[in-house]
Structure 1
Amino acid sequence: MNLLAPVHSIMTKELTTISPEDTIKKVEDLFRTHKIHHLPVEKDGKFIGMVSKSDYLHFKRGFNEIDIENKWDLFRLKSHTVDEIMTRKIARLAPEDKINVAIEIFKENLFHAIPIVDGERLVGIVTTLDIIKHLSEDKEIYKSYTS
């Protein structure tokens, strides 16, 4: 993988997003249905934040499997919105920024996903998994180890 290639060459472009007015129940459903760990938040076509699986689990913390607790948990999930748990101050990259810049952000921060924005419009997302996947598919790396 060329670390000086633009980040748009490895970013996920088909995104599942939510709005700040959506319920946390919708967050739960999207995480479960799409098997993802990050949901970009958009308002009026502009990227404004991110909800991670950790944000969601932090919200749910403290509830157990007792039936009354499950009903209370469901009530809370339907009563609260994304706006209450999303992360607003998050690193962002432009589509032409280099992959090595994304790697440096991952190294220095606790982020596992970086939104790719063109101005304020979300155009993709790069995760640590995207980088690992592209490294594992890089045939040049394997040639250097087998030679």
Structure 2
Amino acid sequence: MESRNMSDVIERYLKAMLSGAHQVEISRSEIAQQFNCVPSQINYVIKTRFTPENGYVVESKRGGGGYIRILRVQVKDNCDLVDVMIDNMPQALRPRQAQVMIQQLYDSQLVGQQAGNMMLNVLSHQTLDLDDRLAEDTLRARLLLAFLQSLRYERYTQRQL
């Protein structure tokens, strides 16, 4: 039998729940109990696998009647994708997060291979190379945000023509 990482199993379970719906509402403790794991494992999966750059928005409410709601982002066109990315851009962005977002732009044909590779190089740790990790991640987020804003403007003007 194939050995599976618990995070992968939980991710597949949640994505299966989402396959027939636009959103799901879960209880962290119930899911943790179902998979016989600690609730922080559920937090980890949601925080790392259900991100805006992966096409998801997560809402939560704490307390006795609390829930975690996972919504699949429904993008009507490529301009909407750029808007979702801009609206959900974190203050700091790790290199892997930037790679995922640029790949999504490429997959949606918003950027070509050359522009995508250029952005990957500009946002790489080797290029930014700051001693302060938070400062580097913050700069990466600001650079990608500027790139997305220029894409949005370019796409908007093309739609107007």
**Normalization by structure 2: what TM-score?**
0.28
**TM-score under structure 1 length normalisation:** 0.30
Of Structure 1 and Structure 2, the greater helix share is in 2
Higher relative strand content:
1
